[in-house]
A and B are shown apart, each in its own frame.
Chain A
Amino acid sequence: MAQPAQAASNQGPALQVRTDPSQNAAVGAAQPQVEARHFNFFYGAFKALDDINMVAGEHQITALIGPSGCGKSTLLRAMNRMHDRTPGAHSEGQLLLNGQDINAVEDLVELRKRVGMIFQRPNPFPMSIFDNVAYGMQLGSQRVPQREIPDRVEQALHGAALWDEVKDKIRQSGLALSGGQQQRLCIARAIAVRPEVILMDEPASALDPISTYKIEELMFALEREFTIVIVTHNLQQAARVADQTVFLTMNPETRAGFVVEAGPTGDLFRRPKDQRTQDYITGRFG
Protein backbone atom coordinates (compact mmCIF):
# COMPACT_ATOMS: atom_id res chain seq x y z
CA MET A 1 0.00 0.00 0.00
CA ALA A 2 1.33 3.41 -0.91
CA GLN A 3 2.42 5.70 1.85
CA PRO A 4 -0.10 8.46 2.32
CA ALA A 5 2.48 11.17 1.71
CA GLN A 6 3.48 9.69 -1.60
CA ALA A 7 -0.07 9.15 -2.67
CA ALA A 8 -0.88 12.73 -1.88
CA SER A 9 1.94 13.95 -4.05
CA ASN A 10 0.85 11.70 -6.88
CA GLN A 11 -2.43 13.36 -7.52
CA GLY A 12 -2.71 15.82 -10.41
CA PRO A 13 -2.13 19.45 -9.48
CA ALA A 14 -0.84 19.58 -5.95
CA LEU A 15 -3.21 20.97 -3.39
CA GLN A 16 -2.35 24.47 -2.48
CA VAL A 17 -2.26 24.50 1.27
CA ARG A 18 -2.21 27.45 3.61
CA THR A 19 1.20 28.13 5.00
CA ASP A 20 0.80 31.28 7.07
CA PRO A 21 1.86 31.06 10.73
CA SER A 22 -1.57 30.34 12.18
CA GLN A 23 -1.70 27.39 9.87
CA ASN A 24 0.66 25.27 11.84
CA ALA A 25 -0.69 26.21 15.21
CA ALA A 26 -1.63 23.16 17.20
CA VAL A 27 -5.29 22.78 18.00
CA GLY A 28 -4.64 23.82 21.55
CA ALA A 29 -2.79 26.99 20.62
CA ALA A 30 -5.93 28.93 19.77
CA GLN A 31 -8.55 29.38 22.42
CA PRO A 32 -11.35 26.90 21.63
CA GLN A 33 -14.48 28.81 20.77
CA VAL A 34 -16.80 26.10 19.56
CA GLU A 35 -16.23 22.61 20.83
CA ALA A 36 -18.13 19.35 20.44
CA ARG A 37 -17.70 16.70 23.12
CA HIS A 38 -19.26 13.32 22.53
CA PHE A 39 -21.96 15.10 20.59
CA ASN A 40 -24.73 12.97 19.04
CA PHE A 41 -27.50 14.28 16.88
CA PHE A 42 -30.77 12.67 15.88
CA TYR A 43 -33.54 13.30 13.39
CA GLY A 44 -36.28 11.40 15.17
CA ALA A 45 -34.97 7.86 15.55
CA PHE A 46 -32.23 8.35 12.95
CA LYS A 47 -28.82 9.06 14.40
CA ALA A 48 -27.20 11.55 12.08
CA LEU A 49 -24.07 12.34 14.10
CA ASP A 50 -22.23 9.85 16.27
CA ASP A 51 -19.90 10.86 19.07
CA ILE A 52 -18.50 13.99 17.47
CA ASN A 53 -15.42 15.53 19.05
CA MET A 54 -14.01 18.63 17.42
CA VAL A 55 -12.75 22.10 18.20
CA ALA A 56 -13.00 25.37 16.32
CA GLY A 57 -10.36 27.75 17.64
CA GLU A 58 -10.93 31.43 18.23
CA HIS A 59 -10.08 33.59 15.21
CA GLN A 60 -9.37 30.55 13.13
CA ILE A 61 -11.05 29.09 10.11
CA THR A 62 -12.16 25.54 10.69
CA ALA A 63 -13.36 23.53 7.71
CA LEU A 64 -15.74 20.61 7.96
CA ILE A 65 -15.21 18.31 5.00
CA GLY A 66 -16.56 14.92 4.04
CA PRO A 67 -18.78 13.13 1.56
CA SER A 68 -22.40 14.08 0.99
CA GLY A 69 -24.68 12.96 3.78
CA CYS A 70 -21.92 12.68 6.37
CA GLY A 71 -23.65 15.21 8.58
CA LYS A 72 -21.28 18.16 8.27
CA SER A 73 -24.10 20.60 7.58
CA THR A 74 -26.09 19.05 10.41
CA LEU A 75 -23.17 19.69 12.75
CA LEU A 76 -22.82 23.26 11.51
CA ARG A 77 -26.51 24.01 11.89
CA ALA A 78 -26.47 22.58 15.40
CA MET A 79 -24.01 25.32 16.34
CA ASN A 80 -26.70 27.99 16.20
CA ARG A 81 -29.64 25.68 16.78
CA MET A 82 -31.19 26.08 13.33
CA HIS A 83 -32.52 22.55 13.91
CA ASP A 84 -34.94 23.80 16.54
CA ARG A 85 -37.50 24.29 13.79
CA THR A 86 -37.19 20.69 12.59
CA PRO A 87 -39.69 18.42 14.32
CA GLY A 88 -38.03 15.44 15.99
CA ALA A 89 -34.50 16.82 15.87
CA HIS A 90 -32.64 16.44 19.15
CA SER A 91 -29.13 15.90 20.46
CA GLU A 92 -27.04 14.34 23.21
CA GLY A 93 -23.65 15.20 24.58
CA GLN A 94 -22.14 18.65 24.56
CA LEU A 95 -21.73 21.36 22.00
CA LEU A 96 -20.02 24.30 23.63
CA LEU A 97 -19.69 27.96 22.78
CA ASN A 98 -16.96 29.46 24.98
CA GLY A 99 -17.47 26.58 27.35
CA GLN A 100 -21.21 27.13 27.59
CA ASP A 101 -23.54 24.40 26.36
CA ILE A 102 -25.31 25.65 23.23
CA ASN A 103 -28.21 23.29 23.76
CA ALA A 104 -28.78 24.57 27.28
CA VAL A 105 -29.14 28.15 26.05
CA GLU A 106 -32.64 29.35 26.75
CA ASP A 107 -32.45 32.55 24.78
CA LEU A 108 -32.09 31.45 21.16
CA VAL A 109 -32.10 35.04 19.99
CA GLU A 110 -29.06 35.77 22.15
CA LEU A 111 -27.27 32.65 20.86
CA ARG A 112 -27.89 33.54 17.22
CA LYS A 113 -26.72 37.06 17.83
CA ARG A 114 -23.40 35.55 18.84
CA VAL A 115 -23.34 32.85 16.16
CA GLY A 116 -24.18 34.15 12.70
CA MET A 117 -24.74 32.07 9.61
CA ILE A 118 -24.11 32.29 5.88
CA PHE A 119 -26.18 29.93 3.77
CA GLN A 120 -25.41 27.92 0.68
CA ARG A 121 -27.55 30.06 -1.59
CA PRO A 122 -27.24 33.80 -1.09
CA ASN A 123 -30.45 34.86 0.60
CA PRO A 124 -30.68 38.64 0.76
CA PHE A 125 -34.10 39.98 1.67
CA PRO A 126 -36.13 41.59 -1.11
CA MET A 127 -35.27 45.06 0.15
CA SER A 128 -32.58 47.65 -0.40
CA ILE A 129 -28.90 46.92 0.17
CA PHE A 130 -28.96 49.32 3.10
CA ASP A 131 -32.03 47.72 4.68
CA ASN A 132 -30.52 44.27 4.23
CA VAL A 133 -27.42 45.17 6.22
CA ALA A 134 -29.44 47.15 8.76
CA TYR A 135 -31.93 44.31 9.27
CA GLY A 136 -30.15 42.57 12.13
CA MET A 137 -29.27 45.83 13.87
CA GLN A 138 -32.91 46.88 13.91
CA LEU A 139 -34.06 43.75 15.68
CA GLY A 140 -35.16 43.99 19.29
CA SER A 141 -32.19 41.90 20.42
CA GLN A 142 -29.66 44.39 19.07
CA ARG A 143 -30.99 47.83 19.95
CA VAL A 144 -28.46 49.68 17.84
CA PRO A 145 -29.43 53.37 18.07
CA GLN A 146 -30.97 54.53 14.80
CA ARG A 147 -28.39 57.29 14.25
CA GLU A 148 -25.49 54.80 14.42
CA ILE A 149 -26.97 52.48 11.82
CA PRO A 150 -25.78 54.27 8.65
CA ASP A 151 -22.16 54.19 9.88
CA ARG A 152 -22.42 50.57 10.93
CA VAL A 153 -23.94 49.64 7.57
CA GLU A 154 -21.01 51.26 5.80
CA GLN A 155 -18.53 49.54 8.13
CA ALA A 156 -20.13 46.18 7.52
CA LEU A 157 -20.11 46.66 3.76
CA HIS A 158 -16.42 47.62 3.94
CA GLY A 159 -15.86 44.55 6.08
CA ALA A 160 -17.49 42.38 3.43
CA ALA A 161 -15.41 44.04 0.66
CA LEU A 162 -18.59 45.21 -1.02
CA TRP A 163 -18.68 48.92 -0.24
CA ASP A 164 -16.87 50.15 -3.35
CA GLU A 165 -19.21 48.18 -5.60
CA VAL A 166 -22.45 49.33 -4.01
CA LYS A 167 -21.82 52.72 -2.42
CA ASP A 168 -23.70 54.51 -5.21
CA LYS A 169 -26.72 52.24 -5.16
CA ILE A 170 -27.19 51.50 -1.50
CA ARG A 171 -30.93 52.21 -1.75
CA GLN A 172 -31.42 49.77 -4.60
CA SER A 173 -32.66 46.25 -4.13
CA GLY A 174 -30.16 43.70 -2.86
CA LEU A 175 -31.64 41.20 -5.29
CA ALA A 176 -30.34 43.20 -8.25
CA LEU A 177 -26.75 42.32 -7.32
CA SER A 178 -24.82 39.42 -8.83
CA GLY A 179 -24.70 36.09 -6.98
CA GLY A 180 -21.25 36.74 -5.55
CA GLN A 181 -22.20 40.26 -4.49
CA GLN A 182 -25.37 38.92 -2.90
CA GLN A 183 -23.34 36.47 -0.86
CA ARG A 184 -21.01 39.24 0.29
CA LEU A 185 -24.11 41.28 1.14
CA CYS A 186 -25.23 38.37 3.32
CA ILE A 187 -21.80 38.36 4.96
CA ALA A 188 -22.10 42.12 5.56
CA ARG A 189 -25.53 41.54 7.07
CA ALA A 190 -24.11 38.86 9.37
CA ILE A 191 -21.05 40.81 10.54
CA ALA A 192 -23.08 43.98 11.07
CA VAL A 193 -24.50 42.48 14.26
CA ARG A 194 -20.95 41.66 15.43
CA PRO A 195 -21.20 37.95 16.16
CA GLU A 196 -18.34 35.96 17.67
CA VAL A 197 -18.68 33.03 15.31
CA ILE A 198 -19.72 32.92 11.66
CA LEU A 199 -20.98 29.61 10.31
CA MET A 200 -20.73 29.19 6.56
CA ASP A 201 -22.63 26.41 4.87
CA GLU A 202 -20.93 25.91 1.50
CA PRO A 203 -20.94 29.67 0.97
CA ALA A 204 -19.38 29.54 -2.48
CA SER A 205 -20.95 26.45 -3.98
CA ALA A 206 -23.47 28.48 -5.97
CA LEU A 207 -20.88 30.99 -7.17
CA ASP A 208 -18.52 31.31 -10.14
CA PRO A 209 -14.73 30.95 -9.60
CA ILE A 210 -14.02 34.67 -9.41
CA SER A 211 -16.76 35.26 -6.86
CA THR A 212 -15.52 32.22 -4.96
CA TYR A 213 -12.02 33.68 -4.92
CA LYS A 214 -13.36 36.95 -3.52
CA ILE A 215 -15.24 35.15 -0.77
CA GLU A 216 -12.10 33.21 0.16
CA GLU A 217 -10.01 36.40 0.25
CA LEU A 218 -12.70 37.90 2.43
CA MET A 219 -12.51 35.00 4.83
CA PHE A 220 -8.83 35.71 5.55
CA ALA A 221 -9.75 39.26 6.48
CA LEU A 222 -12.72 38.19 8.58
CA GLU A 223 -10.63 35.65 10.47
CA ARG A 224 -8.93 38.45 12.38
CA GLU A 225 -12.19 39.42 14.03
CA PHE A 226 -14.36 36.34 13.89
CA THR A 227 -14.15 32.64 14.36
CA ILE A 228 -15.25 30.92 11.17
CA VAL A 229 -16.57 27.41 10.71
CA ILE A 230 -17.11 26.48 7.09
CA VAL A 231 -18.68 23.44 5.51
CA THR A 232 -17.33 22.83 2.06
CA HIS A 233 -17.47 20.17 -0.61
CA ASN A 234 -14.54 21.76 -2.28
CA LEU A 235 -11.32 20.22 -0.94
CA GLN A 236 -9.14 22.82 -2.63
CA GLN A 237 -11.16 25.46 -0.86
CA ALA A 238 -10.70 23.80 2.51
CA ALA A 239 -6.98 23.45 1.85
CA ARG A 240 -6.68 27.09 0.79
CA VAL A 241 -8.62 28.76 3.57
CA ALA A 242 -8.77 26.59 6.65
CA ASP A 243 -6.40 26.62 9.61
CA GLN A 244 -7.94 23.45 10.94
CA THR A 245 -9.80 20.77 9.05
CA VAL A 246 -12.21 18.19 10.38
CA PHE A 247 -12.89 15.21 8.16
CA LEU A 248 -16.20 13.45 8.70
CA THR A 249 -17.60 10.44 6.98
CA MET A 250 -20.53 8.18 7.60
CA ASN A 251 -20.82 4.71 8.91
CA PRO A 252 -21.81 2.65 5.86
CA GLU A 253 -24.30 0.60 7.91
CA THR A 254 -25.96 3.06 10.26
CA ARG A 255 -25.34 6.08 7.99
CA ALA A 256 -24.40 8.09 11.07
CA GLY A 257 -21.71 10.71 10.53
CA PHE A 258 -18.55 10.60 12.62
CA VAL A 259 -15.18 12.35 12.74
CA VAL A 260 -12.38 10.36 11.14
CA GLU A 261 -9.60 12.82 11.63
CA ALA A 262 -9.13 16.43 12.62
CA GLY A 263 -6.10 18.64 12.75
CA PRO A 264 -4.15 21.46 11.19
CA THR A 265 -5.07 21.65 7.52
CA GLY A 266 -1.51 21.16 6.28
CA ASP A 267 -1.06 17.98 8.28
CA LEU A 268 -4.43 16.58 7.32
CA PHE A 269 -3.88 17.11 3.63
CA ARG A 270 -0.17 16.28 3.44
CA ARG A 271 0.14 13.60 6.08
CA PRO A 272 -3.28 12.13 6.75
CA LYS A 273 -3.14 9.62 9.57
CA ASP A 274 -6.14 7.61 8.51
CA GLN A 275 -6.48 5.64 5.29
CA ARG A 276 -10.07 6.89 4.83
CA THR A 277 -8.91 10.50 4.95
CA GLN A 278 -6.20 9.61 2.47
CA ASP A 279 -8.74 8.02 0.13
CA TYR A 280 -11.09 10.95 0.36
CA ILE A 281 -8.58 13.70 -0.27
CA THR A 282 -7.01 11.85 -3.17
CA GLY A 283 -10.43 11.46 -4.73
CA ARG A 284 -10.67 7.69 -4.41
CA PHE A 285 -13.81 7.93 -2.34
CA GLY A 286 -16.74 10.27 -1.89
Chain B
Amino acid sequence: MSADVRDLVASREEAGAVMNMGARRRAKFNDTVATVVMSAASLLLVVVLFGVIFLLLRAGLPALSWSFLTTAGSFVNTGGGIGPQIFVSMYILVLSLLFTTPLGVGAAIYMAEYAKPGRLTTLIRFSTEALASVPSVVFGVFGAIVFLTTFHLGFSVLSGALTLTLLNLPLMVRLAEDSMRTVPESYREASLALGGTRWETIRKAVVPSAIPGIVTAMVLTGGRIIGETAPLILTTGTTISPNATYSLNPLQTGETLAVHVWVLKIVGVPGLQDAQKVANGAAAVLLLIVLLVNIGAAYFTGRLQKRLSGTVGAPRAGGRKKD
Protein backbone atom coordinates (compact mmCIF):
# COMPACT_ATOMS: atom_id res chain seq x y z
CA MET B 1 0.00 0.00 0.00
CA SER B 2 1.52 3.32 -1.03
CA ALA B 3 1.71 6.22 1.33
CA ASP B 4 -0.89 8.40 -0.37
CA VAL B 5 -3.33 5.53 -0.49
CA ARG B 6 -2.74 4.99 3.20
CA ASP B 7 -3.42 8.69 3.80
CA LEU B 8 -6.53 8.51 1.74
CA VAL B 9 -7.78 5.52 3.73
CA ALA B 10 -6.93 7.22 6.99
CA SER B 11 -8.63 10.46 6.04
CA ARG B 12 -11.66 8.52 4.91
CA GLU B 13 -11.80 6.64 8.15
CA GLU B 14 -11.47 9.90 9.99
CA ALA B 15 -14.24 11.39 7.92
CA GLY B 16 -16.33 8.33 8.63
CA ALA B 17 -15.65 8.64 12.31
CA VAL B 18 -16.57 12.31 12.24
CA MET B 19 -19.74 11.54 10.32
CA ASN B 20 -20.57 8.76 12.70
CA MET B 21 -20.05 11.09 15.58
CA GLY B 22 -22.25 13.67 13.84
CA ALA B 23 -24.94 11.08 13.23
CA ARG B 24 -24.70 9.89 16.77
CA ARG B 25 -24.96 13.40 18.09
CA ARG B 26 -27.95 14.04 15.87
CA ALA B 27 -29.64 10.88 17.07
CA LYS B 28 -29.02 11.86 20.64
CA PHE B 29 -30.36 15.33 19.97
CA ASN B 30 -33.48 13.91 18.33
CA ASP B 31 -33.95 11.62 21.25
CA THR B 32 -33.76 14.53 23.65
CA VAL B 33 -36.18 16.59 21.59
CA ALA B 34 -38.66 13.70 21.41
CA THR B 35 -38.43 13.12 25.14
CA VAL B 36 -39.00 16.80 25.88
CA VAL B 37 -41.95 17.07 23.47
CA MET B 38 -43.64 13.94 24.81
CA SER B 39 -43.11 14.94 28.43
CA ALA B 40 -44.42 18.42 27.69
CA ALA B 41 -47.52 16.96 26.04
CA SER B 42 -48.31 14.77 29.03
CA LEU B 43 -47.44 17.58 31.43
CA LEU B 44 -49.87 19.83 29.56
CA LEU B 45 -52.60 17.33 30.41
CA VAL B 46 -51.86 17.64 34.10
CA VAL B 47 -51.70 21.43 33.85
CA VAL B 48 -55.07 21.54 32.09
CA LEU B 49 -56.68 19.26 34.66
CA PHE B 50 -55.40 21.25 37.59
CA GLY B 51 -56.16 24.52 35.80
CA VAL B 52 -59.77 23.48 35.35
CA ILE B 53 -60.02 22.36 38.95
CA PHE B 54 -58.40 25.52 40.23
CA LEU B 55 -60.47 27.98 38.19
CA LEU B 56 -63.78 26.24 38.80
CA LEU B 57 -63.18 25.85 42.49
CA ARG B 58 -62.04 29.47 42.83
CA ALA B 59 -65.25 30.61 41.20
CA GLY B 60 -67.51 28.09 42.85
CA LEU B 61 -66.13 27.39 46.32
CA PRO B 62 -67.44 30.62 47.87
CA ALA B 63 -70.95 29.45 47.04
CA LEU B 64 -70.51 26.03 48.62
CA SER B 65 -72.13 25.33 51.94
CA TRP B 66 -74.20 22.57 53.41
CA SER B 67 -77.41 24.44 52.72
CA PHE B 68 -76.29 25.09 49.14
CA LEU B 69 -76.03 21.34 48.61
CA THR B 70 -79.30 20.50 50.28
CA THR B 71 -81.80 23.25 49.51
CA ALA B 72 -83.63 24.22 46.36
CA GLY B 73 -83.01 27.44 44.47
CA SER B 74 -84.97 30.37 45.80
CA PHE B 75 -86.89 33.07 43.99
CA VAL B 76 -87.38 35.04 47.18
CA ASN B 77 -84.21 35.01 49.21
CA THR B 78 -80.55 34.78 48.36
CA GLY B 79 -78.73 31.64 49.46
CA GLY B 80 -80.76 29.14 47.42
CA GLY B 81 -79.08 25.89 46.50
CA ILE B 82 -78.96 22.96 44.13
CA GLY B 83 -80.16 20.07 46.27
CA PRO B 84 -82.90 18.88 43.92
CA GLN B 85 -80.57 19.01 40.92
CA ILE B 86 -77.96 16.89 42.68
CA PHE B 87 -80.67 14.42 43.53
CA VAL B 88 -81.91 14.21 39.93
CA SER B 89 -78.35 13.78 38.63
CA MET B 90 -77.77 10.90 41.03
CA TYR B 91 -81.14 9.38 40.26
CA ILE B 92 -80.54 9.41 36.50
CA LEU B 93 -77.00 8.14 37.05
CA VAL B 94 -78.16 5.13 39.03
CA LEU B 95 -81.16 4.42 36.81
CA SER B 96 -79.18 4.66 33.59
CA LEU B 97 -76.29 2.53 34.87
CA LEU B 98 -78.87 0.01 36.03
CA PHE B 99 -79.96 -0.35 32.40
CA THR B 100 -76.58 0.13 30.72
CA THR B 101 -74.45 -2.25 32.75
CA PRO B 102 -76.38 -5.51 32.33
CA LEU B 103 -77.22 -4.77 28.70
CA GLY B 104 -73.68 -3.73 27.87
CA VAL B 105 -72.02 -6.59 29.73
CA GLY B 106 -74.46 -9.04 28.16
CA ALA B 107 -73.66 -7.83 24.67
CA ALA B 108 -69.96 -7.83 25.53
CA ILE B 109 -70.15 -11.44 26.71
CA TYR B 110 -71.77 -12.37 23.43
CA MET B 111 -69.16 -10.52 21.39
CA ALA B 112 -66.17 -11.79 23.38
CA GLU B 113 -67.24 -15.36 24.09
CA TYR B 114 -69.82 -16.51 21.60
CA ALA B 115 -69.69 -14.49 18.38
CA LYS B 116 -67.95 -16.26 15.53
CA PRO B 117 -66.42 -14.25 12.72
CA GLY B 118 -69.11 -13.67 10.14
CA ARG B 119 -71.60 -11.23 8.73
CA LEU B 120 -73.68 -10.87 11.89
CA THR B 121 -70.61 -10.15 14.00
CA THR B 122 -69.34 -7.64 11.47
CA LEU B 123 -72.76 -5.97 11.40
CA ILE B 124 -72.90 -5.77 15.20
CA ARG B 125 -69.41 -4.38 15.39
CA PHE B 126 -70.11 -1.83 12.68
CA SER B 127 -73.32 -0.73 14.42
CA THR B 128 -71.52 -0.36 17.71
CA GLU B 129 -68.78 1.75 16.19
CA ALA B 130 -71.27 3.86 14.26
CA LEU B 131 -73.46 4.44 17.31
CA ALA B 132 -70.43 5.44 19.34
CA SER B 133 -69.75 8.34 17.02
CA VAL B 134 -73.31 9.68 16.80
CA PRO B 135 -73.51 13.14 18.47
CA SER B 136 -75.36 13.07 21.77
CA VAL B 137 -77.94 15.66 20.68
CA VAL B 138 -79.04 13.23 17.97
CA PHE B 139 -79.71 10.66 20.68
CA GLY B 140 -81.73 13.37 22.39
CA VAL B 141 -83.91 13.87 19.34
CA PHE B 142 -84.25 10.13 18.92
CA GLY B 143 -85.13 9.68 22.60
CA ALA B 144 -87.73 12.42 22.36
CA ILE B 145 -89.38 10.66 19.45
CA VAL B 146 -89.26 7.17 20.89
CA PHE B 147 -89.73 7.59 24.64
CA LEU B 148 -91.75 10.80 24.80
CA THR B 149 -93.99 10.37 21.79
CA THR B 150 -94.19 6.68 21.01
CA PHE B 151 -94.08 5.29 24.55
CA HIS B 152 -95.81 8.32 26.11
CA LEU B 153 -93.26 8.60 28.90
CA GLY B 154 -93.26 12.38 28.60
CA PHE B 155 -90.42 14.61 29.78
CA SER B 156 -89.24 12.41 32.60
CA VAL B 157 -86.29 11.05 34.49
CA LEU B 158 -87.04 7.65 32.93
CA SER B 159 -86.99 9.02 29.37
CA GLY B 160 -83.67 10.70 30.08
CA ALA B 161 -82.15 7.60 31.69
CA LEU B 162 -83.22 5.44 28.76
CA THR B 163 -81.87 7.92 26.23
CA LEU B 164 -78.52 8.04 28.02
CA THR B 165 -78.52 4.25 28.12
CA LEU B 166 -78.67 4.18 24.33
CA LEU B 167 -75.98 6.83 24.17
CA ASN B 168 -73.67 4.90 26.47
CA LEU B 169 -74.26 1.33 25.33
CA PRO B 170 -71.63 1.32 22.57
CA LEU B 171 -68.94 2.55 24.93
CA MET B 172 -69.98 0.10 27.62
CA VAL B 173 -70.03 -2.85 25.19
CA ARG B 174 -66.67 -1.91 23.76
CA LEU B 175 -64.91 -1.47 27.10
CA ALA B 176 -66.50 -4.54 28.71
CA GLU B 177 -65.65 -6.65 25.66
CA ASP B 178 -62.05 -5.46 25.77
CA SER B 179 -61.77 -6.33 29.44
CA MET B 180 -63.16 -9.81 28.78
CA ARG B 181 -60.77 -10.38 25.92
CA THR B 182 -57.84 -9.65 28.21
CA VAL B 183 -58.89 -12.47 30.55
CA PRO B 184 -56.24 -15.14 29.87
CA GLU B 185 -57.34 -18.14 27.82
CA SER B 186 -55.81 -20.32 30.52
CA TYR B 187 -58.63 -19.39 32.94
CA ARG B 188 -61.19 -20.65 30.44
CA GLU B 189 -59.24 -23.86 29.83
CA ALA B 190 -58.84 -24.44 33.57
CA SER B 191 -62.55 -24.03 34.17
CA LEU B 192 -63.58 -26.22 31.25
CA ALA B 193 -61.08 -28.91 32.23
CA LEU B 194 -62.67 -29.03 35.69
CA GLY B 195 -66.00 -29.88 34.14
CA GLY B 196 -67.40 -26.39 33.89
CA THR B 197 -69.99 -25.62 31.26
CA ARG B 198 -69.42 -22.72 28.95
CA TRP B 199 -71.81 -20.52 30.90
CA GLU B 200 -70.28 -21.49 34.25
CA THR B 201 -66.89 -20.68 32.81
CA ILE B 202 -68.05 -17.24 31.71
CA ARG B 203 -69.94 -16.51 34.90
CA LYS B 204 -67.42 -17.81 37.41
CA ALA B 205 -64.04 -17.42 35.71
CA VAL B 206 -64.24 -14.81 32.96
CA VAL B 207 -66.61 -12.11 34.23
CA PRO B 208 -65.12 -11.89 37.76
CA SER B 209 -61.68 -11.35 36.24
CA ALA B 210 -63.14 -8.68 33.97
CA ILE B 211 -64.77 -6.73 36.80
CA PRO B 212 -62.05 -4.08 37.14
CA GLY B 213 -62.50 -3.29 33.43
CA ILE B 214 -66.28 -3.23 33.79
CA VAL B 215 -66.01 -0.84 36.73
CA THR B 216 -63.81 1.44 34.65
CA ALA B 217 -66.45 1.33 31.91
CA MET B 218 -69.13 2.25 34.48
CA VAL B 219 -67.06 5.21 35.66
CA LEU B 220 -66.57 6.52 32.12
CA THR B 221 -70.24 6.12 31.24
CA GLY B 222 -71.18 7.53 34.63
CA GLY B 223 -69.09 10.61 33.94
CA ARG B 224 -70.91 11.09 30.66
CA ILE B 225 -74.27 10.70 32.38
CA ILE B 226 -73.41 13.32 34.97
CA GLY B 227 -72.02 15.72 32.40
CA GLU B 228 -74.48 15.28 29.54
CA THR B 229 -76.87 18.13 28.73
CA ALA B 230 -78.32 18.14 25.22
CA PRO B 231 -80.09 14.75 25.26
CA LEU B 232 -81.46 15.42 28.75
CA ILE B 233 -82.83 18.84 27.85
CA LEU B 234 -84.81 17.11 25.12
CA THR B 235 -86.02 14.17 27.21
CA THR B 236 -85.98 14.99 30.91
CA GLY B 237 -86.63 18.69 30.71
CA THR B 238 -85.21 21.71 32.47
CA THR B 239 -87.50 22.02 35.42
CA ILE B 240 -88.15 20.23 38.65
CA SER B 241 -91.67 20.52 39.91
CA PRO B 242 -91.56 22.32 43.27
CA ASN B 243 -94.04 19.80 44.69
CA ALA B 244 -91.92 16.87 43.60
CA THR B 245 -88.37 17.66 44.63
CA TYR B 246 -86.56 14.50 45.80
CA SER B 247 -89.31 12.40 44.27
CA LEU B 248 -88.43 8.85 43.30
CA ASN B 249 -91.21 8.77 40.72
CA PRO B 250 -89.33 8.12 37.48
CA LEU B 251 -92.06 9.76 35.45
CA GLN B 252 -91.43 13.19 36.98
CA THR B 253 -89.68 15.80 34.91
CA GLY B 254 -86.26 16.64 36.17
CA GLU B 255 -83.23 18.82 35.77
CA THR B 256 -79.76 17.51 36.34
CA LEU B 257 -76.91 19.55 37.71
CA ALA B 258 -75.26 19.88 34.30
CA VAL B 259 -78.51 21.01 32.70
CA HIS B 260 -78.99 23.45 35.58
CA VAL B 261 -75.60 25.03 34.87
CA TRP B 262 -76.51 25.32 31.21
CA VAL B 263 -79.89 26.88 31.99
CA LEU B 264 -78.43 29.36 34.45
CA LYS B 265 -75.57 30.38 32.19
CA ILE B 266 -77.31 30.42 28.82
CA VAL B 267 -81.04 30.69 29.25
CA GLY B 268 -81.37 32.34 32.61
CA VAL B 269 -84.10 31.84 35.15
CA PRO B 270 -86.04 35.07 35.64
CA GLY B 271 -86.33 35.96 39.29
CA LEU B 272 -83.94 33.35 40.63
CA GLN B 273 -81.71 34.90 43.27
CA ASP B 274 -77.91 34.54 43.04
CA ALA B 275 -78.12 32.90 39.58
CA GLN B 276 -74.43 33.39 38.67
CA LYS B 277 -73.21 32.35 42.08
CA VAL B 278 -75.40 29.25 41.94
CA ALA B 279 -74.14 28.44 38.45
CA ASN B 280 -70.49 28.66 39.54
CA GLY B 281 -71.18 26.64 42.65
CA ALA B 282 -73.04 24.02 40.65
CA ALA B 283 -70.17 23.70 38.18
CA ALA B 284 -67.73 23.21 41.05
CA VAL B 285 -69.97 20.57 42.60
CA LEU B 286 -70.26 18.82 39.24
CA LEU B 287 -66.51 18.69 38.99
CA LEU B 288 -66.09 17.45 42.54
CA ILE B 289 -68.63 14.68 41.99
CA VAL B 290 -66.82 13.46 38.88
CA LEU B 291 -63.47 13.60 40.66
CA LEU B 292 -64.82 11.74 43.67
CA VAL B 293 -66.37 9.05 41.50
CA ASN B 294 -63.07 8.59 39.66
CA ILE B 295 -61.00 8.42 42.81
CA GLY B 296 -63.50 6.08 44.42
CA ALA B 297 -63.47 3.77 41.42
CA ALA B 298 -59.68 3.77 41.23
CA TYR B 299 -59.58 2.87 44.91
CA PHE B 300 -62.17 0.13 44.44
CA THR B 301 -60.51 -1.46 41.42
CA GLY B 302 -57.13 -1.19 43.13
CA ARG B 303 -58.46 -3.02 46.17
CA LEU B 304 -60.13 -5.61 43.96
CA GLN B 305 -56.98 -6.13 41.93
CA LYS B 306 -55.06 -6.61 45.11
CA ARG B 307 -57.52 -9.12 46.46
CA LEU B 308 -57.66 -11.03 43.16
CA SER B 309 -53.97 -11.19 42.47
CA GLY B 310 -52.40 -10.76 45.87
CA THR B 311 -50.30 -7.93 44.48
CA VAL B 312 -50.77 -4.22 44.25
CA GLY B 313 -52.79 -3.48 41.15
CA ALA B 314 -51.11 -1.94 38.15
CA PRO B 315 -52.11 1.65 37.49
CA ARG B 316 -54.88 1.96 34.94
CA ALA B 317 -52.54 3.58 32.51
CA GLY B 318 -48.86 4.16 32.66
CA GLY B 319 -45.53 3.84 31.01
CA ARG B 320 -43.46 0.73 30.71
CA LYS B 321 -42.02 -0.69 33.85
CA LYS B 322 -38.37 0.12 34.26
CA ASP B 323 -36.32 -3.06 34.26
Contact = CB atoms under 8 A, between A and B. Distances in A.
A138 B191 CA distance: 11
A175 B309 contact: yes
Interface in B195-247: 195-197, 200, 204-205, 208-209
Interface residues of A, number: 32
Nearest to A135: B194
A121 interface: yes
A259 interface: no
Given A172-B310, A176-B311, A121 B186 contact: yes
A112 B209 contact: no
Contacts of A135: 191, 194, 204-205
B195 A193 contact: yes
B291 interface: no
A123 B187 contact: yes
Majority-rule SS of B interface residues: helix
Contacts of A44: none
A80 B193 CA distance: 8
B44 to A, nearest CB: 36
Contact of B186 (A119, A142, A172, A175): A119
Given A119-B189, A125-B190, A126-B209, A140 B308 contact: no
Contact of A190 (B186, B194, B197, B200): B194
Contact of A112 (B195, B204, B308): B195
A82 B196 CA distance: 12
B187 A139 contact: no
Contacts of A113: 194-195
Given A119-B189, A139-B200, A140-B200, A127 B308 contact: yes
B195 A141 contact: yes
A5 interface: no
B105 to A, nearest CB: 18
Interface of B: 184, 186-187, 189-197, 200, 204-205, 208-209, 307-311
Nearest 6 A-B pairs (CB), nearest first? A176-B310, A173-B310, A136-B194, A123-B186, A113-B195, A126-B308
